[in-house]
Structure 1
Amino acid sequence: MRKQQMIVVIGSINMDLVMRVPRMPHPGETLSGGVFQTIPGGKGANQAVACARLSRQRGNVAMIACLGDDAFGAQLRAALRHEAIDDTHVHTIAGMSSGVAAISVDDNGQNSIALAAGANAALLPAHIDAAQDLIAQAHVVVLQLESPMATVAHAIRLAHGMGKIVVLNPAPAQTLPTTLLRQLTYLIPNEIEAAMLVGQTATTLEDDSEVDAVIARLREIGCARILVTLGAKGVRAALANGIQHFTAQPANPIDTTAAGDTFIGGFVAALADGESEEAAIDFGQRAAASSVARVGAQTSIPYRRDLLPAAN
């Protein structure tokens, strides 16, 4: 068996406060909901958990992040440890609350999310410097944008300088400096995030030609490899052999929360295991399709053993 390489995830940890609603409420409207749950989440932690659950072996994932010194912080750390994620560089910040996300999920499985960063805002470049030895051991370093931008940029610069595979999920959507984008090995936006990165305000990209035009502009900027996730329409990927389309796996969505994080976790886990880019994308899509059949963020992320074998 090939040795699984180490994955370091740098990013956010939140407690998700999830409310099921028949539809999204209008401004000023009070709408009676259904089941309420508190579920560990945050894009960073979701991706770390997805990497851990979808890897061939346990114990190859570490996280760099900040938690508050509240009850949520203790629960969120316990959730990481349950997945054998190294939390040595997950710092508890005195006097701060942990990050919280208020999530509404409608009967069609679509979600609306509001964030309170809490201790996630306290992740500093100094925390990244303190973890240099950990990053030096990594094969892949994964980041998102729910942490301070200065810290994200510092971590990317450090990991790129060490020759690591650097994966950025540019969410929440925002514009980014060209110098940062050029240091990435893989940029993995959804279609809204991809459009924003090139200065467009469209909420969706209507067809493959529009996606390809955005990809072309990102490549002109200097992005090496780009995977645009399109939900049920699949993934449009610019790889070494040009642009390819990967059809989504069949799914019956109940809740799309963390589907993108699950895709990234599956993709990164497969890359760290030595799989080809194409095989890693397929594996990530199978994991994401499985996740939308369950409710919540980390509660929806499948284990490797849960996935059906790839079709021949």
Structure 2
Amino acid sequence: MNITTIGGATVDIIVSGSHRASGQGAKQDVEDIGLYMGGGAVNAGLGFVASGARVNAVCALGDDAQGARFRASLAHGGIGLDGVQAVAGTPTGKAVVHLNGDGEAAVFAQRGASVELSVAATPAHLLEADVVYVSALSDAAMAQLVTALKTARRRPSRLVLNPGARQLAASAASLAPLLDMADLVCVNGHEALLLAQTPVQAHACGFTTEDVQALVAGIGRRTRADVLITLGAKGAVFFNGAETHHGPAPATHVVSTLGAGDAYASTFALHWASGQSARHAMTAAASHAAAVLGVVAANLAGPL
């Protein structure tokens, strides 16, 4: 199966295993500081590769040393470079990630070249893949993607949308055309609240069955696509317009939650697009997400 992922690419500088400093202003020792590939297009792409798909990523890197190193790591990880753009005069995006003892991540991002991504410059054949998986994009890139899909000689067999919270909160109007085109929408609990635009106030981890039904109904007013909602330790919920399925999360040791959502969504999307049952797709997705939860990085590619 041919997959195209579209979205961000960042160098993740991950700080883990911090110890309490001895006094105000004291240097704080940590166990590790590592450099890894990250970003929505990359994390999802590596998830698809892990499931055996042929993958190209549409993303933008700086025309700098970090970008060159990143490009080589993409190729080593099995991701095609046809859609990877180099933006002159703009640095490759970076994110400083601090992991606390529970694996929760605080992220400080400089998006760099990712905000300069030109979907209009994407080779046409990449938008005709079996699955086009779209993560968070700038408003300009979203508009370019809508135009490209409407004018393409052939639409992708499946369009999967995985918007970010900021995109859902600030760009609802510009996101609407993609929601109309999507076959599958993947969101986490907080993003589901933003997408549904319902009065449900529960925290994602505290959703009741009634809350989930309200979310599904609210999202159904925004898109006719199938919907996947990931709920962390509560598992995930999938709704196909007729039936709701719940997939539990297996017990696992959590090192970092940084890329679990991308891991789950990409693996589920591949099995869903292949015609597998929701139960099979959710089981495979939970297994891959558990593997990603066990490493500090947002994917299994290893350090840059």
- Say whether residues 1:234 and 2:226 are aligned partners: no
Q: How does 1:54-69 map to 2 (within 5 A)?
A: 54-55=51-52, 60-69=54-63
DSSP 3-state at the match of 2:281: helix
Shift of 1:23: 8.6
Shift of 1:54: 1.9
Which residue, out of 155, 158, 162, partners 2:145? 155
Counterpart of 1:250 in structure 2 is 251
Counterpart of 1:310 in structure 2 is none
CA contact (8 A) 1:53 1:83 kept: no
Shift of 1:98: 0.3
Counterpart of 2:203 in structure 1 is 204
Counterpart of 1:179 in structure 2 is 177
Once residues 75 and 135 of structure 2 are traced to their aligned partners in structure 1, the CA distance between those partners, rounded to angstroms, is 21
Once residues 48 and 285 of structure 2 are traced to their aligned partners in structure 1, the CA distance between those partners, rounded to angstroms, is 10
Shift of 1:210: 1.3
Which residue, out of 2, 7, 16, partners 1:11? 7
- Say whether residues 1:48 and 2:45 are aligned partners: yes
Counterpart of 2:268 in structure 1 is 267
Shift of 1:39: 1.0
Which residue, out of 140, 152, 165, partners 2:158? 165
Once residues 278 and 11 of structure 2 are traced to their aligned partners in structure 1, the CA distance between those partners, rounded to angstroms, is 32
DSSP 3-state at the match of 1:170: coil
From the superposition, tell whether residues 300 and 78 of structure 1 become closer, same or farther in structure 2 (CA, over 3 Å). Answer: closer
CA contact (8 A) 1:7 1:139 kept: yes
Shift of 1:279: 1.6
Shift of 1:119: 0.5
CA contact (8 A) 1:66 1:90 kept: yes
Shift of 1:153: 4.0
Task: Describe the superposition over 1:191-234 as per-residue Cα deviations: whole angstroms up to 9, x where unpaired.
Answer: 11111123369572332321221111110223321111000100
Shift of 1:115: 1.3
Task: Describe the superposition over 1:13-64 as per-residue Cα deviations: whole angstroms up to 9, x where unpaired.
Answer: 1000111155999xx9877241111111111111111111222x6xx11111
DSSP 3-state at the match of 2:299: coil
Counterpart of 1:213 in structure 2 is 214
Which residue, out of 49, 62, 71, partners 2:65? 71
Once residues 257 and 300 of structure 1 are traced to their aligned partners in structure 2, the CA distance between those partners, rounded to angstroms, is 14
Once residues 24 and 76 of structure 1 are traced to their aligned partners in structure 2, the CA distance between those partners, rounded to angstroms, is 33
- List gaps (5 residues or longer) in structure 2: none
Residue identity (%):
25
| 2:80 counterpart letter in structure 1 | D
| 2:138 counterpart letter in structure 1 | P
**Number of matched residues?**
288
| 1:226 counterpart letter in structure 2 | V
Instruction: List, as ranges, runs of 4+ consecutive aligned residues in structure 1 with deviation greater than 4 Å.
Output: 21-25, 28-31, 200-203
Once residues 197 and 26 of structure 2 are traced to their aligned partners in structure 1, the CA distance between those partners, rounded to angstroms, is 35
Task: Describe the superposition over 1:97-117 as per-residue Cα deviations: whole angstroms up to 9, x where unpaired.
Answer: 001011110111111112111
Once residues 181 and 18 of structure 2 are traced to their aligned partners in structure 1, the CA distance between those partners, rounded to angstroms, is 43
CA contact (8 A) 2:165 2:190 kept: no
- Say whether residues 1:112 and 2:106 are aligned partners: yes
TM-score, normalised to structure 1, is: 0.84
Counterpart of 2:130 in structure 1 is 139
- List gaps (5 residues or longer) in structure 1: 302-312
DSSP 3-state at the match of 1:126: helix
DSSP 3-state at the match of 1:182: helix
TM-score, normalised to structure 2, is: 0.86
- Say whether residues 1:20 and 2:16 are aligned partners: yes
